[in-house]
């Protein structure tokens, strides 16, 4: 049990507990706060996997923008009667069964696959490699540009959809 | 070294919890939170595979970055739609938004 | 004991001292000693962050008082230095109220999160070339990500107070903070481009010949202004406008919790000064800073205080901006100019051939910034002229009407004034 494994187990336990609270909390704002906790533990996992850039982007994007957006949406769409009473719909048991079945199947399959592990360490200039990959014509410049167009379309679309009709 | 299967099992657990959230919750914003959990589980998977299989290549991290961008766009549009629906029908419970059901 | 190392590598010297003590005398295992050293480092930086605001608050009150032609606190202790401690004691002795219906967990965590967000920023700030908490290669992005945690704390605090004015204040605050992050990140990109690295120590090292404030004055101005807006200081003071929405999102906080928000705000203001010093004023660079790191600390603190003094100057002189003007300023001025500055810097940096001396390169970038600034000014004055002409055209119909009313109002006033004489 090395130190990294202990850190991973603790982080994993917190992540699973927070995710469970997200989907079972009665009060929606509490669920949003638990979501923020799970997003933060995912950032810690990225840092454990030596992808520091992705950890920082995760915090900026998810916690700094998407979580705040979700909290705004919860507060703008509240009705007082909604916070009490069961928060699950009528076929929640079927959803639980499907999720459990999927998890059981994955639990048995995943450890028994033989992965072509590289057993190498992350090179020092991985950030530079990533940067170059984003703008290199032969690598990932096209998905980069398409993602930019997608974000622009989403920006304009959400303004049009949620804007005030005068 | 942490075995790769630990990461994958953890990601599978979070994915299934998010799946339960999507299938079993009434409120539309809660469903969206389940979707965000599923996207995060996918990201953990991608980065774990990148780290253990091809750490010298940038492809794994690229994929994760594109997933970030798509998740942000989808959250923005989804929440805009929910707010718009709330203005018209004064409810965000997914079962009550059934005008197009036969 | 290599005491000459104390002068040239103080952190390494202390680490070696402690390691020899713990492993040699007390026979601790080496990984545990590593963890203990890391914890000691964290405690030192966090204690500095929590104790320094005592001096910062005194400094600000004296400087603001001098600018307002009065003296400021000078009774408690020599020159009033113990005034902040007296205030802290007063706040400690106040009753700790929790409003009915408040969400206890969120209500209590929110001030803690605000302070944590500010302290975490100091983990990557380089005091000298080998005195930095942790030298990660994504320092600038880390600062942005931790700053967004502070935004979250304000949202939680405003909602958890169970008070509609606190909630409204929190909404406006979060709208301002999230909007101003966009030009801040864009203007943060300019020193990153010029230094070819996101690590803060690398950015400081790249300013060994020409400071970035000469190479990129527009980016420096935009970064400074948007960071002041991120902290929530005047002129972007709407978050705690006492005269408007009664202290905004921290209405319901009393005693020590309010003190934590207060400390977080002042430390964040100083962090803005420190970041401006690192990114644009050359950080710890100065004569003999490489050989004697203590001098680097002195230079860094001096430059950070220059930035902090500018923040205080803005607070003492400028009035508050209205919320719609503030958002207009952000989306219609700062963001386009920041985008223009990034594009302009990129193009100019590519056009200047690589072999020239840094002074020529800095001069070329300064020229490009000057052209961009002149273009912005030209466009803005053209737009302002058009708006003025529209108003005058529409106002001519109104103006004659107003003149008649003015004449009628004048006549009875003069009739009243004459008997009064």
Of A33, A59, A68, the CB nearest to C145: A59
Inside any domain, residue B91? yes
Which range marks the domain in which residue A40 is found?
A: 1-80
Average pLDDT over residues C40-61: 90
Inside any domain, residue B101? no
- The total of structural domains in chain A comes to 2
Most confident of A83-92, C67-76, C149-158, C213-222: C213-222
Q: What is the pLDDT of residues C207-228, one digit of tens each?
A: 888 889 988 999 999 999 999 9
The band of B79, judged by pLDDT with boundaries at 50, 70 and 90, is very high
Q: What is the largest CA-CA distance in chain A?
A: 63
Q: Burial level of C248, CB count in 10 A (0-12/13-18/19+)?
A: buried
Percent of chain C with pLDDT over 90: 27
Inside any domain, residue A103? no
- What does each C-alpha distance from C352 to A36, C206, C367 come to in angstroms? 45, 17, 12
Inside any domain, residue A162? yes
Using only the alpha carbons of chain B, give its radius of gyration. Answer: 17
Q: Which residues of B touch A5 (CB under 8 A)?
A: 2
The whole-chain average pLDDT of chain A stands at: 87
**Distance (Å) from the C-alpha of residue B99 to the closest C-alpha of chain A?**
18
- The total of structural domains in chain C comes to 1
CATH label of the domain that carries residue B83: 1.10.287.3510
Single pTM value for the model: 0.88
Domain finish residue from A47, A80, A113: A80
Of A3, A60, A71, the CB nearest to C145: A60
Domain finish residue from A59, A80, A101: A80
Structural tokens at position C76? 């408690």
Q: What is the ipTM of this complex?
A: 0.91
Query: What is the C-alpha to C-alpha distance for residues C127 and C45, in angstroms, rounded to an integer?
Result: 11
Q: What is the largest CA-CA distance in chain B?
A: 55
CA-angle at A118, arms to A115 and A122, nearest 5°: 130
Which range marks the domain in which residue C321 is found?
A: 94-383
Structural tokens at position B100? 């197009």
Q: Who contacts A90 (Cβ-Cβ below 8 Å, separation ≥6)?
A: B95
pLDDT of residue C104: 82
Inside any domain, residue C61? no
- The total of structural domains in chain B comes to 1
Residue A93: pLDDT over 50: yes
Handedness of CA C137, C310, C312, C303 (dihedral sign): positive
Q: What is the pLDDT of residues B56-69, one digit of tens each?
A: 888 888 999 999 99
The band of C417, judged by pLDDT with boundaries at 50, 70 and 90, is very low
Residue C234: pLDDT over 80: no
Q: In this structure, how many other beta carbons lie within 10 angstroms of the beta carbon of residue C89?
A: 10
Residue B32: pLDDT over 70: yes
Inside any domain, residue C138? yes
Q: Which of C81-85, C257-261, C407-411 has the lowest mean pLDDT?
A: C407-411
Inside any domain, residue A144? yes
Inside any domain, residue C18? no
CATH label of the domain that carries residue A26: 1.20.120.1200
Residue of A36, A54, A145 best to disrupt the B interface, most CBs of B under 10 A: A54
b (16+ CB within 10 A) / e for C406-418: eeeeeeeeeeeee
Structural tokens at position A55? 């950890």
Inside any domain, residue A6? yes
Inside any domain, residue A155? yes
Inside any domain, residue A104? no
Which range marks the domain in which residue B92 is found?
A: 4-96
Inside any domain, residue C245? yes
Q: Which of B52, B70, B56 is nearest to B3 (CA)?
A: B52
Inside any domain, residue B102? no
Q: Which residues of C touch A52 (CB under 8 A)?
A: 136-138
Residue C80: pLDDT over 80: yes
> Is C145 in CB contact (< 8 Å) with chain A?
yes
Chains with at least 3 CB pairs less than 8 angstroms from chain B:
A
């Amino acid at each position: 049990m090395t130190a990294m494994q202990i850190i991973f187990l603790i982080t994993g336990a917190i992540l699973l507990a927070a995710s469970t609270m997200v989907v079972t909390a009665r009060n929606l704002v509490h669920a949003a706060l638990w979501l923020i906790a799970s997003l933060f533990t995912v950032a810690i996992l990225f840092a454990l996997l030596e992808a520091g850039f992705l950890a920082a982007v995760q915090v900026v994007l998810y916690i700094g923008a998407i979580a705040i957006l979700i909290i705004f949406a919860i507060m703008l769409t509240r009705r007082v009667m909604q916070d009490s009473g069961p928060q699950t719909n009528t076929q929640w048991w079927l959803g639980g069964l499907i999720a459990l079945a999927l998890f059981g199947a994955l639990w048995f399959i995943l450890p028994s696959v033989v992965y072509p592990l590289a057993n190498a360490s992350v090179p020092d200039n991985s950030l530079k490699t990533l940067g170059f990959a984003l703008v290199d014509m032969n690598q990932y410049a096209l998905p980069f540009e398409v993602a930019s167009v997608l974000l622009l379309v989403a920006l304009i679309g959400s303004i049009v959809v949620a804007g005030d009709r005068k | 070294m942490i075995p790769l299967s630990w990461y994958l099992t953890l990601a599978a657990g979070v994915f299934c919890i998010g799946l339960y959230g999507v299938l079993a919750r009434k409120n539309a914003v809660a469903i969206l939170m389940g979707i965000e959990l599923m996207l995060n589980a996918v990201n953990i998977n991608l980065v774990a595979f990148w780290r253990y299989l091809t750490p010298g290549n940038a492809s794994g991290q690229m994929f994760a970055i594109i997933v970030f961008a798509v998740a942000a766009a989808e959250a923005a549009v989804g929440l805009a739609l929910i707010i718009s629906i709330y203005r018209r029908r004064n409810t965000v419970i997914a079962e009550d938004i059934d005008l197009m059901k036969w | 004991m290599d005491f000459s190392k104390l002068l040239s590598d103080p952190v390494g010297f202390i680490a070696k001292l402690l390691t020899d003590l713990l492993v040699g005398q007390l026979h601790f295992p080496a990984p545990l000693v590593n963890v203990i050293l890391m914890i000691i480092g964290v405690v030192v930086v966090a204690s500095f962050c929590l104790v320094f605001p005592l001096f910062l608050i005194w400094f600000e009150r004296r400087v603001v008082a001098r600018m307002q032609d009065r003296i400021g606190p000078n009774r408690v202790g020599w020159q009033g230095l113990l005034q902040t401690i007296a205030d802290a004691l007063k706040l400690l002795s106040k009753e700790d109220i929790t409003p009915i219906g408040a969400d206890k967990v969120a209500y209590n965590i929110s001030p803690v999160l605000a302070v944590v967000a500010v302290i975490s920023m100091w983990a990557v700030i380089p005091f000298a070339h080998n005195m930095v908490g942790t030298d990660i290669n994504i320092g600038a992005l880390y600062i942005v990500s931790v700053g967004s945690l502070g935004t979250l704390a304000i949202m939680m605090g405003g909602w958890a107070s169970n008070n509609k004015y606190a909630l409204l204040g929190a909404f406006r605050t979060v709208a301002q903070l999230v909007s101003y992050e966009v030009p801040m990140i864009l203007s943060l990109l300019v020193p990153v481009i010029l230094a070819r690295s996101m690590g803060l120590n690398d950015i400081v090292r790249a300013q060994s010949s020409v400071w970035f404030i000469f190479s990129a004055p527009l980016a420096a101005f935009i970064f400074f202004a948007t960071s002041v807006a991120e902290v929530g200081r005047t002129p972007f003071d709407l978050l705690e406008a006492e005269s408007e929405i009664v202290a905004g999102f921290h209405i319901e906080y009393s005693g020590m919790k309010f003190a934590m928000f207060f400390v977080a705000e002042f430390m964040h203001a100083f962090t803005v000064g420190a970041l401006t010093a690192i990114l644009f004023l050359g950080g710890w660079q100065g004569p003999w800073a490489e050989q004697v790191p203590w001098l680097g600390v002195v230079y860094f603190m001096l430059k950070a205080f220059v930035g902090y003094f500018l923040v205080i100057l803005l607070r003492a002189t400028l009035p508050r901006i209205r919320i719609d003007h503030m958002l207009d300023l952000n989306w219609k001025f700062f963001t386009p100019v920041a985008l223009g500055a990034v594009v302009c810097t990129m193009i100019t940096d590519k056009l200047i051939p690589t072999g020239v001396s840094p002074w020529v390169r800095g001069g070329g970038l300064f020229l490009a910034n000057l052209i961009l600034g002149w273009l912005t000014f030209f466009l803005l004055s053209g737009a302002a002229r058009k708006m003025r002409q529209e108003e005058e055209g529409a106002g001519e119909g109104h103006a004659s009407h107003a003149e008649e009313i003015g004449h009628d109002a004048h006549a009875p006033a003069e009739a009243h004034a004459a008997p009064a004489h």
